[in-house]
Structure 1
Amino acid sequence: MSSVSKYIQDTEVNKAMEAGQHHLLLSWLVFTGVLLFALYVGWQENILSQLYETDRSHISIAITLIYILVTGHCAMRIGKLSYESNQVHNISHYIYENPDVRLDVEDNRARLSGYGYVPNSLMGRYLHDLVLQHQHRTSINNEDNNASRDLIEVYAAKLKGPQEIGWFATDIMLKLGLLGTIVGFIMMLGSVANISDFDVTTMQKILQLMSSGMGTALYTTMAGLSASMLAAAQYYMLDRSSDQMLEAMQHISEVRLKPALSQA
C-alpha cells in the first residue's frame, strides 16, 4: 500500500473514531424528529387521512404497519451499534494514546495493559479472538496473513447480518406500493367493463369509480415509495456506521496490536 493511500485510510479511520459519543444515535434522533414533524404537518393538513380514506385496497395501512415495525427494529439496532461504536472509539483512543500497550487473554476475556479487561462488546470479543488466533498460528508456525481478514469478515457478518431483514422489509414496502398501483388500475378499468348504456347518471358513477381507482393507485404508490426511501435511509445509516466500526477495528489490529503480538 502506498504512503498516500495509507494516509487516506488513516484519515478516514480517525474521522470515524472522532465522530463523538453516540453520534449514530443522535443522527437517528434528528432524522426521526424531522420525520415526526413532517407527519404532524401532514396530519394537520389532512393529507394522511385523505391517503387512508382514498386507498380502497388498504395496502397503505399494511405499508404503514410494516414501516412502524421496521422503525422499531432500526431503533434497537441503532442503540446496539451506538454502544458498540463507543466501545470501539474508547478502546482505539486508549491504544493510540499508549503505543506500548500489550494485549492478552485472561479469564477468557481480552485484557489491555494499563486499561484492564475490555468490556463485553464486539470489540472485546474481536480482541479476544485476535489473541487466540495469534496463539494458534504461533503454535503451528503458520504466518497466514489472510487469517485476520477472515476474522474481520466473520465479525462483519455478525454485525451487519441483523440488518438484512430491514433491507428485505424495505423492498417489500416498495413492492406493495407497486402492487397497489396495479390494484388501483384494475379497479379503475373494472368500472367500465360492464357498461350497457352511456347516460349521464351512469357516466357520473363510472367517473367516480375511475377516480377512486386512480386515487388508490397513486396513493399506494406514494406510500410505498415514501416508506421504502425512509426505511432505506435509516438502514444506510446503520450500514455506514457498521463499516466505519469494522474499518477502525481492522486498522487498530493491523497497525497497533498485531505488531505488538508478534513481538511478545
Structure 2
Amino acid sequence: MSSAAPHQRMLGAAVVGRLPGLGCAPLALERGERGLFLLWCAYAGLLAFGALLLWRAGAWHRLLDADPTGLTLVIALLFIGCTAWAGRRAWVLGEQRLALDRWIATRTPGASGDWSHEYRSGCAPAGADRATWLQVLGERAHGPHEMAWWLNGIQLKLGLLGKVIGFSILALQLGQVQTFDASMSGQLLKSLTGGLGIALLTTVTGLTGNILLGLQLMRLDRFADALIADAIASAAPPQETPDGDRPHGA
C-alpha cells in the first residue's frame, strides 16, 4: 500500500526492509499517544550519542580532512535535515492517529485538517466516489514520503559519485607516474591513498546514511499504512440486512 515501494529496491532500503520487525505493522509503543514521535526521539538520541562519541574520538575531523570534495559533509547535512523532517512527520502522523482514535472511541469528529474526518465526510453522500477520496487520503498520508525516499537515494548516489571521483583521482595520479623509484615509494603511496580514501569514505558515509534514514522512513510508511486502513474501516458503511432497507428485528 505504500507509495514508496519502487524506492525500496535501493540497496539501503532493501537492507532495512529485511531487518526483523521493521516491515511489520505499527508496534504497540507506536500506537500509543505520541508513540511514534517518542520512538523517533529515542532513535534520534541514539544517533546523537553515536555522533558525539565519534566527535570525541576525532573521527569527524579526520573524515572531513580526508575528503577534499566535500561530499561527505553534504551527505551528513542531508541526513541531518531528513532526520529532522522525519521527526516532524512522526508528530503529524501521531496527531492524525489521535484524531482517528478519538473518533473510533467517542464518535467525536476531528477539527479541520483531520484526514480521516475528511475522508468520512467525502464518502458519506450517496453516490460519492470513494476511490477518489481514498486516493486523497493516500496522498495525505504517503505523498510527502516520496521526496524523503528520493533524498534517501540521493545519499547513496552521492556516495557512489565520491567513489567515481576518488578512483578517477587515483587513475590520474597513476597516469602521471613516469618511472618507479624505490626511494619515492612512500610519497607515491601517500598520493595514491588520497584518491582511494575519497572513494571509500564517501561510499561508506552514503551507505550508512541511506540505511539509517531508511529505518525511519520504513516505520513512517508502515504507520501511515495502518492509519489509512483504520480510516477506511471507520468509514465503512453499515452492512445491509437481508431485506435491504430494514434493520434486524424490524
TM-score, normalised to structure 2, is 0.79
Deviations 1:188-215 (A, max 9, x none): 2221211222224432222001111111
Residue 59 of structure 1 aligns with an amino acid whose one-letter code is L
Higher helix fraction: Structure 1 or Structure 2?
1
The change in CA–CA distance for 1:185 and 1:173 in structure 2 (over 3 A counts) is same
2:229 corresponds to which residue? 247
CA contact (8 A) 2:93 2:224 kept: yes
RMSD of aligned residue pairs (Cα, Å): 2.6
Residue 26 of structure 1 aligns with an amino acid whose one-letter code is L
For 1:123 and 1:79, locate their aligned partners in 2 and report how far apart those are by CA, in whole Å: 16
2:72 corresponds to which residue? 60
Q: Percent identity?
A: 24
Report the Cα offset of residue 92 of structure 1. 1.6
For 1:21 and 1:263, locate their aligned partners in 2 and report how far apart those are by CA, in whole Å: 39
My pick for the range that moved more, 195-204 or 62-71, is 195-204
1:135 corresponds to which residue? 126
Report the Cα offset of residue 165 of structure 1. 0.5
Report the Cα offset of residue 180 of structure 1. 0.7
My pick for the range that moved more, 197-206 or 238-247, is 197-206
CA contact (8 A) 1:16 1:244 kept: no
Report the Cα offset of residue 81 of structure 1. 1.0
1:118 corresponds to which residue? 110
1:4 corresponds to which residue? none
Name stretches of at least 5 consecutive residues in structure 1 with no aligned partner.
1-11, 96-114, 138-146
TM-score, normalised to structure 1, is 0.75
Deviations 1:9-42 (A, max 9, x none): xxx9997799211111011111111111111111
Report the Cα offset of residue 136 of structure 1. 4.0
Equivalent position to 1:184, from 166, 190, 194: 166
For 1:263 and 1:46, locate their aligned partners in 2 and report how far apart those are by CA, in whole Å: 75
Residue 122 of structure 2 aligns with an amino acid whose one-letter code is D
For 1:88 and 1:17, locate their aligned partners in 2 and report how far apart those are by CA, in whole Å: 17
CA contact (8 A) 1:17 1:248 kept: no
1:213 corresponds to which residue? 195
For 2:214 and 2:60, locate their aligned partners in 1 and report how far apart those are by CA, in whole Å: 21
SS in 2 for 1:195: coil
My pick for the range that moved more, 227-236 or 170-179, is 227-236
SS in 2 for 1:65: helix
CA contact (8 A) 2:115 2:140 kept: no
Residue 130 of structure 1 aligns with an amino acid whose one-letter code is C
My pick for the range that moved more, 75-84 or 34-43, is 75-84
What is the aligned length?
219
Equivalent position to 2:134, from 152, 158, 183: 152
CA contact (8 A) 2:90 2:220 kept: yes
The change in CA–CA distance for 1:148 and 1:34 in structure 2 (over 3 A counts) is same
